[in-house]
Amino acid sequence: MANAKELFRQNFIEYASYVIKDRAIPDIEDGLKPVQRRILHTLIEMDDGRFNKVANVVGSTMHYHPHGDASIYSALVNLANCDLFIEKQGNFGNFMTGDGAAAARYIECRLLPFAKKVLYNPEITNYVESYDGRGKEPVSFPAKIPVVLIQGTEGIAVGMSTKILPHNALEVIDAQISAIKGEPFQLYPDFPGGGIMDVSDYQDGLGSVAVRAKLDTSNAKKIVIEELPFGVDSESMIHSIEDAIKKGRLKIQSVSDFTADKVNIEISLAKGTYTKDIVDALYAYTLCEQKISVNCLVIKDKLPHVCTVSDVVNYHANHIIDVSKAELEVEKGHLYDKLHYRTLERIFVEERIYKRIEQKRTQEAVSAAVKTGFDPYSDQLVREVSDEDVERLLKIPIRRISLFDIEKNRQEIEQINEDIKRVEYNLGHLAEYSIGVLKDIKGELDNELHRRKTVIGDFNMIDVKEVAKRDIDLRYDGLTGYLGTNVKTGNALFKVSEFDKILIVQKNGTYYCTNVSDRTFVGKDLAYCGLADKESLENVVFTVIYQDKKTKVSYIKRCKLSGFIMNKPYELLPEPETCSLKKLSVLENAEVTVTYKGPSRVKETTFYFSDFRVKGAKAGGVTITKKEIASIRIKPCKAVSTPPKEESDAGLDEELEEQGAETSVLEERPSSEKPEKGSDEMPGLFDDVD
């Protein structure tokens, strides 16, 4: 068993590590997932300036990516639609309408020169063997800009996920330049579809953004959606609007979609409905407003790291300096190689060193003769003469030697020396040089395609509960025990919205809070039903008259109900097993007439709700009488007979005993008996509950 557990543990760790590092999460250096990197690597290998069938690109990429053509095709389409590294030809889909791309055999693509400028430099790129060992692929490209921020990305791995929104390329490069200079910067997302965005909770890439569609509300009877929120297409938008219409949330006559190159969804309003009345509901009930949570997770130093947008920019501010240094060092090496060869060539021809090899019969002798011939001029050489140098010199044609232009050679050497001085200056001013590189890159992107499209605004998310109207009847059928908005029989209690919470009180004193639903079984012993929001319950006082089943002692309790856990049952009565609920009222004040059973000098007595203090829901009641009660009548009133008494266990019992009141059993009012005018009868409220 231990071996099996260890085997599973090891395999799971390897699988999780593979999914995180080699499939789902992008690398911070080039901002690409492995499949995207392999696609670009393949396009670089295939690049001849002409378009290639996407099907051919997909097939060639499979030499490096062992996960099938479907994943490569979809990744290539998404990468091409970023309009950064790949030029498209054909139908690559439309993010505004939701239409997909054509089949891989019908569409073509090719690498943009910009991709090589930003990503490609094989002399400073680390390569590893492909999965089958037949080729080499890059570990990561030495990207000069934060590609992960410009393109954005989304991926789900084992136990973690990433969601980075796309940012404006020009703004990202400006931020990178500011970071190199040590100046403050701030970056916010920018979406290709435009729209409006609230970034108050963006938290530098670790929070969320609220996005809205851009609406034209100039016409009082028609709304035109001109731009969509990020991640929403016209088809899903119309579906959400139609769904809201079916549920009665929006009063709209018709919806027409004219989206093509630009979004154009026309919403014609119903009779009696105007634009100003429906805009908030449109944001609340449809995809016109969305909240997008973000999580900037990337692979850094071969490990997953959660970092901010600023962290990514600062990383690339340092990274481009490292890349610039590496490229300059490579260029410097090439210049010295060129200078060395030009010098060798000049001395070889000018000093007639080639004459030394005329009598030599072996390769070793020829090579030694050439090397010896350069000994007097060693102070003019960049480095020692190697066998490769000799081979190269010996390949110079006789015609070139005879027509050798000494002056041209000297000019070339002077130019090379100038270039070396320039490179050495740049190596000494790497920050300045890197900024120049970034400005050059920015110049290639400074066009209408890469200008900011999303407007940054300040708005609060529309809460559906705030715009929801209480216009749905909540019905209760006492015969079946069902309560809900879709109950067809029974009585309508009051108006609700689908987001309301309601308070249910049963005849046994149990109460609970639940959501409004289409149809819920609450039983046939419903005593009270009302709205359970804070505002509604703030002014509601529950007055309960109950009796001890054994001693027949009656009590009154006044309380407010609040602080519910949804669908958790609570008890109004202090001891539900031994007490029974006789009366339940939510009147602010009422006159209560108690009639006693049997012969007595006093047949009835009267008191008021206001005679008793309002307590907590868990408090016990105040004793009314120790005698049995025949009936209780409740009549609404505004007048207060006496000021509220202090809490007392005796309560009204002492007064009743002094009057010689007798007790009797409480009889339930017959169902056919109608309540008197002004009695405590209201929707969802029952006086007699025993």
Give just the sign of the alpha carbon dihedral 50, 51, 54, 55: negative
Token pair 């009847």 is found at 473
| Per-position DSSP letters for 275-324, written without gaps between them | HHHHHHHHHHHSTTEEEEE-B-EEEETTEEEE--HHHHHHHHHHHHHHHH
Token pair 């990383």 is found at 315
Catalytic residue status for 106: yes
3-class secondary structure, 44: helix
Burial code of 387-425, b = ≥16 C-beta within 10 A, e = fewer? eebbeebeeeeeeeeeeeeeeebeebbeebeebbeebee
Per-residue tokens: 194 = 């435009």
Helices (H), 140-223: 147-151, 169-181
Q: Which letter does DSSP use for residue 264 in this model? A: -
CB of 174 within 8 A of CB of 165? no
Give just the sign of the alpha carbon dihedral 402, 403, 406, 411: negative
d(CA 592, CA 679): 10
Residues 6+ apart with CB under 8 A from 78: none
Residue closest to 37 by CA, chosen among 79, 2, 74, 68: 79
Strand partners, 251: none
d(CA 372, CA 350): 16
Token pair 């900011």 is found at 452
Give the 3-state DSSP-derived string for 358-426, with helices as H, strands as E and coil as C. CCCCCHHHHHHHHHHHCHHHHHHCCCCCCHHHHHHHHCCCHHHHHCCCHHHHHHHHHHHHHHHHHHHHH
Helices (H), 182-304: 234-246, 275-285
For residue 467, how many C-alpha atoms fall within 13 Å in the half-sphere facing its CB?
A: 19
Q: Which one is catalytic: 15, 18, 106, 127?
A: 106
d(CA 600, CA 387): 135
d(CA 44, CA 599): 109
CB of 615 within 8 A of CB of 661? no
Residue closest to 636 by CA, chosen among 671, 585, 689, 686: 585
Per-residue tokens: 404 = 């050798």
3-class secondary structure, 635: strand
For residue 427, how many C-alpha atoms fall within 13 Å in the half-sphere facing its CB?
A: 15
Q: Known catalytic residues?
A: 106
